[in-house]
Chain A
Amino acid sequence: MSLKMPYIRILVVGALICLLPLVLDTFYMHIAVLVLIWAFLACAWNIIGGYAGQHSLGNGLYMGIGAYTVAYLVNRFALTPWVGLLVAIALSAAAAAFIGWIVFRYALKGAYFALVTIALTEAAVYVVSNIPALGGAGGMQMEYRGNSLAYMQFAGQSGYFYMGVLMVVFILLLTQWYKSKRFFYQLIAVRENEDAAEALGVDTVKAKIKANVMSGVLCAVGGVFYAQYFLYVGPRSVFGEVVSVQILIYAIVGGLGTTWGPVVGAVLLVPLSEIARGQLGNSLPGSQLLLSGVVMVLTMLFMPFGIIGAVARLRQRWQHRSATPLVDSQGGEAS
């Protein structure tokens, strides 16, 4: 297989997806945009959670920083969201770097790391809820200023849809490109065995901080897009534990630390939960989160490596059975 193949695959799938608006009605276009938003966020989380193996339960913090920054700047100063995007990137990078520096310098891992990230994202909810300029507990509505790329606002859903496709294609290409780079190898080394990584010259603290910044900035970009699509931001809709968990569910179900896993997870789960919400939302509130919970439990019990991982394992087993071994089982020992 050519080295370019994975990139071509991303571009081809992206191009094919662009045909969807021709066949989808408004309800399904809305779901498609949501799929793209969550796929993007899950891909962003996958960098710190999947590749670096640091399971942040608080990436809503960065998504919220992005969403609130753009909403505030657009509302207060009537700036274009593109400027807001730049400010959001700068703020989230600073926050992710600072938090990463503190948390990883003190070597917090596993459950402790997860708890600190929850505490931070929950603290953000309470902070934002108490700032009147940010709309307090009620959040902020954003004004619709017309169908224009300059305002990052579109009349129908297809504008958001194409932007979402661009974003997801971008993050997939980025991930694929980084996969052959030193940085991602170092992240994987950190995930697999930190002591061994240090002994092989990997500055594990620095690698984790870099991953946190990259993941945080991309989550903020996702948050900007989220705010522009809904034209509303609220403390619990973009910060907080529930959103943070939602971000990572898709990555976990799809396959941690794989390029396509988060996308596969979002493609399968977002429509399911949106349809559940649409069909049962009034009679049975919470049905879509209940579904997420069930899927999470089943994934952990029966395919902890997610859908991509399960498929890869099946394929491997099948190949092992069909291929004649080129070397005997003692291969490594004969010298």
Chain B
Amino acid sequence: MSATPPLSQAPPVKAMPPMGEPPARSAPSALTMRRWRDARRAVAIGSIVLLSPLALSIFDRGTVLGVPSVVLFVFAVWLAGIAITRLLAKTIDER
């Protein structure tokens, strides 16, 4: 019959395995996924704000290499939105 070791005999903190450490190459945690989802929301809201008339009016002046600034701005925001959405779509596991 073995007695329970006293508390003072507990291994030092350094010797204990790290608490809840995920195994190597595991699936992203719920917290990480939540952050990615927050990023997804930010992209959607950011795109709407950047494509609002107010944002466009800021760029509605002058040209760059003969192309109106507002055209460049709209297409740049558009392309950036697509690129970020692709990145997030590949990262976020919906299942």
Tell me, yes or no, whether A binds B: no
Chain B interface (Cβ within 8 Å of chain A)?
Answer: none
